[in-house]
Structure 1
């Protein structure tokens, strides 16, 4: 996959591993990711039951989704605009395999077409080595016409906006 954004996160993540299977969440410094921060998504993993909470959604990701889903759980979002991507299965795979997952995803446009984008998701651990977070990057390039045709991600359940945006 030819993506400078994905390559940037991949190199940073591997550097932060420091001989471990994966970096700890505490090893990730947003300042070091400044160039790609608008394309970064950080999720917190809740294990029992398994739920994925979006704690940081970069501005470019918000624009592409047409909705700021910071503070929402994955199971609270209608992800039907993601053509052929089963996001819960992607997260389960990361948890099972304890390694990054990359791929080409497609997002739906209102005219029935779709546009591909590159995604990479990287596990992060807590101090005990359990996966506690996933840091992801989305590299999507849309022309102005595509932006007008984007089908926005929608919450399944409307709820008040979360207070504050503390990254965890």
Structure 2
């Protein structure tokens, strides 16, 4: 099967539509935190060993900006700073139970919003989409695991 010349553009448009659906699911419920704060909570939930410096790297901001974000999240009861039990000088960022509840509710709203779009698609198309997304994810993963050209030349 030959690839249509506009496949990348179609994927880009679908990604934009998906982002719109996901953002709409969050904004309809008047989230009490900004998208950046939600991203911070997601990052520290996924990476329990995160400190402010690591968070700054992940966000590509200076540590003082990351620290101010954490200050605001801590003030709203969504984040705690705790001493690392292995090194008391190191401070880890931990989501609170309220943050985990917030993220869980957001995830459910997003899933419902995506499901509403999927429900407007024929079953066969949904199945084809599932297969295509799995194949895309595998290809992307294989591409990220492949050595870079420079690394391959020096090996």
**Is the TM-score greater than 0.5?**
no
Pick the structure with greater CA Rg: 2
Question: Higher strand proportion, which one?
Answer: 1
- The TM-score range, normalised by the shorter chain, is under 0.3
TM, length-normalised to structure 1: 0.25
The structure that is helix-richer by fraction is 2
